[in-house]
Structure 1
Amino acid sequence: CEVVQKEFSLSPIVVSAKTREGIPALREAIARAVPEGFEAASITQGLVREGDTVLLVMPQDIQAPKGRLILPQVQTIRDLLDRRCTVVSVTADRLEPALRALKAPPALIITDSQCFGMVHRVKPDETPLTSFSVLFAAYKGDIRAYVEGAAAIDQLTAQSRVLIAEACTHAPLQEDIGRVKIPRALRKRFGESLRVDICAGVDFPVDLTPYDLVIHCGGCMFNRRYVLSRIQQAQAQGVPMTNYGVALAKLTGILDQIVLP
């Protein structure tokens, strides 16, 4: 270490694969090395090509802000337009008429995660399906880590404890996806005594070990560096972590049937 510091003016991190010494410090150093504001190359990278028709299913219910679209929807539309795709947007109740109006099945359907089950039932067999939250799981975080973390859902019990982590500090509405729908789905499957805690904004626990699973939102209000640091924190403490879209796909039983960026 002294030689490296002297010769190269660098501070090495000593890591042992055997004892795991230094691995948390290495993870932190990697997270710090990601440039501020760094994002993946494209929200829909690898899923669409120029000229594709992409159908967006966007419920405008009580959760949707009045008079505007939410940020992930706006950013996804802009990404698709930049990739010279044809974008068709519908509410969930207009999905089937929209599909009938198209001359050919869309190249991709992107839905709100809460509509996964319904959209999957009626979509054309040849059209791949994903969600805004799943896209942002890759754009803002680590989609592979989230999919691995979702496997922990099968191990939950009525005595488990789950943390729901929201990036923004919005006032929760009726049928809020993080505060109502996901906890309800978990308790329906594992029992009403399953404990669900909520954190919002930067109020993220330092110690995650009391939890059996962390379910994070899409992270549209955070930069990728910060979201990755949360994933690495959970991994360092041995706590599985997934995100809203991946968790809902898992709970709906279609995680293996949706496309990942």
Structure 2
Amino acid sequence: MTTWDVAGVAEELLRCEDERRDRAPFTDEWPELDLDTGYTIQDLTLEKRLARGETLVGVKLGLTSRAKQERMNVNVPLVAWLTDAMVLPAGERVPQEQLIHPRVEPEIVFVMGDRLEGPGVTAATAMAAVSIVLGGAEVIDSRYRDFRFTAGDVVADNASSGAYVTGPVGVPPSELDLSLEAVLVEVDGQVVDSATGAAVLGHPGEALALAANELARRGRAIEPGWVVLTGGMTDAVPIPPGSSVAMHFTNLGSVHVRGGEVQPCP
């Protein structure tokens, strides 16, 4: 049995990502891997990503909806990092050859106009710092087999980060009621799920405030120009090769994600 520590877990998670390899959760062998330890590992993996040339572009929230919490059996929202390597340009297929078992979920996305620093941030002060609201989709992935993990495991794994895409319609936050902004999720032409922004902690601004306050605890703030994914509005759906998933928002347009093809090994 391997004896794990913060540095070892960080290195193993990045190896799993690079090698497109899943594994059992670390808490099977290291039950002391709690939320705080998970965030320490997450920050270390960010340092390693930046050292290899990636650029920090924002933050993402995970498990902000009850649907996701129930599916993953984790009952706390999570905060994680976004880098430019995670951007999926609109129209491009999901890079299946880089991912293990991708799933996709609809997101309300903020582009920040002002710096947002906790503690004590409320939804109202958080929304005042937002420049533009977009519809989006996150392609989540996990380095854990069958998406089985504890809160500490998934935080260490950057909240199952994979890729994300934003839609073509940007709207100032003052022109939207985000708690009522609805989305229909369509898989291969069939509607499979729906939700409103209220599924995200009652209002996506609450998720943004939570992120700012959590980052303050770690000595960080949300910077101008950053992208913030506020969390899946519905449960995530698989996106196997050749499939098509569309998220149709009330005011934020539609976001289309297509499954790519897995390239044969050389």
Q: TM-score, normalised by structure 2?
A: 0.24
Higher helix share: 1
TM-score, L = length of structure 1: 0.24
Q: Which structure's CA Rg is the greater one?
A: 1
State the structure with bigger RCO (CA 8 A, min sep 6), 1 or 2.
2
Of Structure 1 and Structure 2, the greater strand share is in 2
